[in-house]
Amino acid sequence: MISLFDISLRLNGFPIKEAKAELDKIVNLSKEEYALFLQNKKEEIVDFHLKNNPFYQELVGNNTDLIWEDLPILNKQNLQKPLVERLSKGYTLKNVYLNKTSGSSGTPFVFAKDKYCHALTWTSIFMRFGWYKIDFNHSLQARFYGIPMDFIGYQKERIKDFLTHRFRFPVFDLSDVVLEKFLRKFKTKKFDYINGYTSSIVLFAKYLEHKNIVLNQICPTLKACFVTSEMLFELDKKLLEKQFGIPIINEYGASELDLIAFENLNGDWQINAETLFVEILDKNNNVLPYGEEGRIVITSLFNKAHPFIRYEIGDIGILDEKSTPQKPILKKLIGRTNDIAILPSGKKSPGLTFYYVTKSIVEDDGNVKEFIIKQTQFDTFEIEYVSDRELHTAQIQKIEKAISLYLEPNLNFSFTRRTVLERNKSGKLKQFKSHL
């Protein structure tokens, strides 16, 4: 039976039925059949864009007799030009799916997908949420996201919410007064699942902890919580499991691509190998073996409207040693390549290292609700935090001692208590930022 969400996709020109048939076929391929499928799709998408996309032709240059490993790495800076200059022949702004990235990487851009590719994206999402008995046509979502504040953008999102059975909790104001209103909604609505930005959902869980409330005891219809767009730390995952009383599923995606990785029923962060091809590269663009840390580079196997071939998404990660081409596993997502702290000694360290160290200490107190770290000079960092009371001297000394031990000594820190932390326009919280 076709339901409201499926009907809305078809009315907008997305061939969802055909996409479902294709995805089912890919999922059921044997090991040998999948290897042939992947090789053919890689060759097909490169050949298509070399023949039909002037932007990609220019990027590759005159040498078209290249093996896969010689193809250029597409980065976000390459995409800083009008979309019409990046579209393939036969595609216009009127016959594609259009969207823009959030800008959390620091380099936002407008992108396009052909409608079949976007239908496959939705089908991939349906399948993965279906692992947890979530049906977008019927299951009610508690959505912790931002929302456009302009009139047209706001109304469009509200229509989408209606069609996709979502009730939105805007995340721009997460004061206790607002979180209490959120809680009241969970008492009156039969939500099936929670989905949204990690930091916002964690803050709600901390509020529940303070009130000594387990969410599924007041909303027993809840089945699962899916967190996305921001790092999920192990301590936070345990807090969510404790305060929500339901499975917490970690999701990693990019609007310009698809769901990239999604926690499966075995607890593995399974990479989408049906519509994407994921590689881990070193600084010289060499493909790294499973288990080694490097830049995440992704190819969209079906997008003919716009090339995303060997596209550097801006993240650093590791593929698990137990990965196979048909079932790659993301062992660890370390952070963004532009979230690197450069220290006075010349040492480079992922900005999240500061966050891990600081978080482990302030968590002991339970006073600090959330915080961000900014690097303003090589030896100077600002920590802004939201809490019921000021950090005391012993806490600050403990943080400075830990950072000196794990990173290097003689770094300068200032601590500023805020009533609310600055989020970007979409509502995401950037946990570390370098101003160098």
- Per-residue pLDDT of 381-411, as tens digits, reads 999 988 888 888 888 888 888 888 778 889 9
pLDDT at 109: 79
**Among 301, 335, 369, residue at a domain's last position:** 335
Q: Is the pLDDT of residue 22 over 50?
A: yes
Same domain, 344 and 327: no
Residue 380 makes CB contacts below 8 A (sequence gap 6+) with 411, 412, 413, 414
CATH at 196 = 3.40.50.12780
β strands within 17-164, DSSP E: 97-100, 110-113, 141-145
Same domain, 290 and 365: no
By the 8 A CB rule, do 16 and 4 touch? no
Cα–Cα distance for residue pair 421/145, rounded to 1 Å: 16
Same domain, 357 and 312: no
User: With the C-alpha atoms ordered 126, 128, 130, 133, is the resulting torsion angle positive or negative?
Assistant: negative
Same domain, 197 and 307: yes
CA 60 to chain centre: 28
pLDDT at 362: 65
CATH at 358 = 3.30.300.30
Same domain, 320 and 345: no
Low-confidence winner among 14-18, 46-50, 272-276 (lowest mean pLDDT): 14-18
**Among 308, 335, 362, residue at a domain's last position:** 335
Same domain, 70 and 110: yes
Same domain, 24 and 157: yes
pLDDT at 424: 67
Give whole-number Cα distances, 374 to 13, 259, 352, 410, 436, in Å: 44, 29, 11, 17, 10
Percent of the chain exceeding pLDDT 70 equals 91
Same domain, 96 and 134: yes
pLDDT band at 1 (very low <50, low <70, confident <90, very high): very low
The reported pTM is 0.81
pLDDT at 419: 86
Domain of 423? Answer: 340-434
**Among 335, 361, 395, residue at a domain's last position:** 335
Same domain, 331 and 387: no
- Per-residue pLDDT of 246-287, as tens digits, reads 999 999 998 899 999 999 999 999 999 999 999 999 999 999
> What is the rounded average pLDDT of the residues 354-363?
68
- Per-residue pLDDT of 110-153, as tens digits, reads 899 999 999 999 999 999 999 999 998 889 999 998 776 667 77
Percent of the chain exceeding pLDDT 90 equals 55
> What is the rounded average pLDDT of the residues 350-357?
69
For 235, list phi and psi in degrees, rounded to 5. Answer: -60, -40
Total of domains in the chain = 2
Same domain, 413 and 285: no
Same domain, 329 and 213: yes
Cα–Cα distance for residue pair 233/218, rounded to 1 Å: 26
- Per-residue pLDDT of 204-251, as tens digits, reads 999 999 999 999 999 999 999 999 877 788 888 999 999 999 999 999
Same domain, 292 and 368: no
pLDDT at 63: 74
